[in-house]
Each structure stands twice: as C-alpha cells, then as structure tokens.
A = this chain, B = another copy of it.
C-alpha cells in the first residue's frame, strides 16, 4: 500500500495534524489556529519586529539530500535569524505551507516536527497559518514576529569609521556543507571529512537569537545584519547603510580547515568561496572602540557561539579584502535570480 499523502487526507486534516502537535498556548494568545485569524496581545512597552522568508524546493533545498525535519527547522530558523539581527526576542510565527499533493503525511509530520522543535528551543508560538496545494515545488513560507525595547533595536545602519567588524560562528560553513551533501567525485567519505558541523549549518542552522539579544541589551553593536546571503553581502549591507567602507582581514576569517579543504577540492579559492558563500545565518556586527570591554562581557556570556574580529570600518567607501599577498576588492555577495 503506498504511503498516504496530503492529497489523500485533504487540507483540513493537514491543519488538524499541525494543531495536534502544538504545545499549550501562552496566555497572550487569545485565539490560535482554528478561526479566520489569530489574536495576540502585544508585549507591553515593546516594538514589534516582523519578518517573512520562504524556502522554495529546487531553489533553497533539494529533497534528495535535505530531510523534511531540516526543511521545517530551517524555514523557521532563517526568520529567527532576521529577528536576532535586529536584537529582538522571538515571540510568534505564522506558517504558510504550499504542498504538492503527493507530499507524504509522514514527511509533513516530520517537517512540522522539525519546525516545532526549533520553535520550542526559541520560545516561539505557532499562532496561525495556511495550507495550499502546490502544482510544483514544496514551499514553506514563515512570518516571524518578535519584540524589542525601542532603544535596543539593532539596525544595519550605524557603523562608524574605526568600529571593529565581528562575525559569529564559522564563515563559509553552510556552503561547504551544501557541497558535501550534494556530493562530488573524490570527496572524502562523510563522517571522516570533518564537515559534520558544516552540514548541520546548511541543513538547519541554529539562529543566533541569544547573541543578538545580548548585543542589543548591552548596546554593544553599532550595526548588525545576518549573513543569510554571505559574509561579503552582509559587510556590503552594513557599509552601504552606514555610508562607510570596510577592510576585511582574510587571516582573521573563521574558516574551519575542513571547509577550506572542501572548497579546494572543488577548485575554488577558499577565502573567496567562504566570504561569498550564502546561508551561514551568522551575525555580522560592528562595535565601537569604547564598547569593546562591554563586548568582552557579552562574548563571555555567549561562549557557545564564538565571535571573531575580522576587520574594521573605514571612512573611505571601499570594501577591501586584505590577504597575505596584498589587498583586493571584497568578492561579491550571493543572490537569487543569478
């Protein structure tokens, strides 16, 4: 007997299966899934931070090597990463699923389970959503809403010449993980290639929510952005928004050895491949000299997420990559519709 699909059980049963998995609603959620819309009481004395981002099969993931749990987890994670980059505390999410009729119920359950695990880890309530049929790719579109004290908001703009530039985690890891999952002739077998963390970063990145909150509450960062489209793109985003330039020191980039090796196997320049590589979902932030001591305090409290100083903000509006061999322009970012 073939596995039952969402086409077999219908839209209402899909919604019922999601509802059944939800934990008890917090008291600020007056109406959850089941009416025409959700009703939530806003947090007091907070601004709301709102973001939406979609994962599209064939563009952002391939079901051949991305399991459904990871699709669900990542669809929420990429939105939480946007909230983190604003210094916001995540609160609720809305889920819009566009499902091919032949999606199995088992895959649906795994996808929703992966998302709800990610939600639980970050205190996010799934407040509502929508299910549509797809005549093509599977699409998971999430809107996430968080809250922040108005004076704590982190923006892209605000970097000033002399500020240090920092990045959390590893650079290029998601791209190396993606290359490893996609497979290539001659690559080392999995489990022996040192890329487990890189594959995990690609499949279901843990958003840097706590780091973003600490940076915001301690007023450490003058600007912040996530590296969803690569480190170079984030450096460019912060520089453009602030009307400044940047020098990135190649030797200071946290590119793990296994990630470098993977890029070299592909015949890529490892530094360029790492700074261009999208989907790391790390935080890229700038810190004024006078806030360096406060930064040390934040980094000590977020010790599970290492942060590296990778360069400096400059007055001159150029983006420079400084390597042992000399200086050159920072390679470009990554974008869809390429």
A residues with a Cβ closer than 8 A to B are 6-7, 9-12, 14, 30-31, 34-42, 46-54, 56-60, 82-83, 85-86, 88, 92, 94-96, 98, 101, 127-137, 139, 141, 143, 145-146, 148, 150, 153, 155-156, 225-226, 241, 335-338
Contacts and interface: CB of A to CB of B under 8 A. Distances in A.
Contact of A41 (B48, B139, B226): B48
Contacts of A130: 51-54
Contact of A226 (B36, B38, B134, B135): B36
A137 B11 CA distance: 19
A109 to B, nearest CB: 16
Contact of A37 (B51, B92, B134, B335): B51
Contacts of A141: 52, 54, 96, 98, 141
Nearest to A42: B42
Given A37-B49, A37-B51, A59-B132, 18 more contacts: A7-B337, A14-B337, A31-B155, A37-B86, A37-B146, A38-B49, A39-B86, A40-B48, A50-B92, A51-B94, A52-B128, A52-B129, A52-B130, A53-B96, A53-B130, A54-B130, A96-B143, A131-B336
A54 B148 CA distance: 28
A4 to B, nearest CB: 12
Kindly report how many copies of this chain are found in the complex they form together: 2
B6 A337 contact: yes
A54 B134 CA distance: 11
A101 to B, nearest CB: 6
Given A31-B155, A59-B134, A134-B136, A37 B54 contact: no
A130 to B, nearest CB: 5
Contacts of A131: 336
B135 A56 contact: yes
Contacts of A95: 52
B143 A52 contact: yes
Contact of A39 (B38, B49, B128, B132): B49
B30 A150 contact: yes
B39 A94 contact: no
A128 B56 contact: no
A162 to B, nearest CB: 23
A12 B132 contact: no
A51 B52 CA distance: 13
A4 B86 CA distance: 35
A56 B134 contact: yes
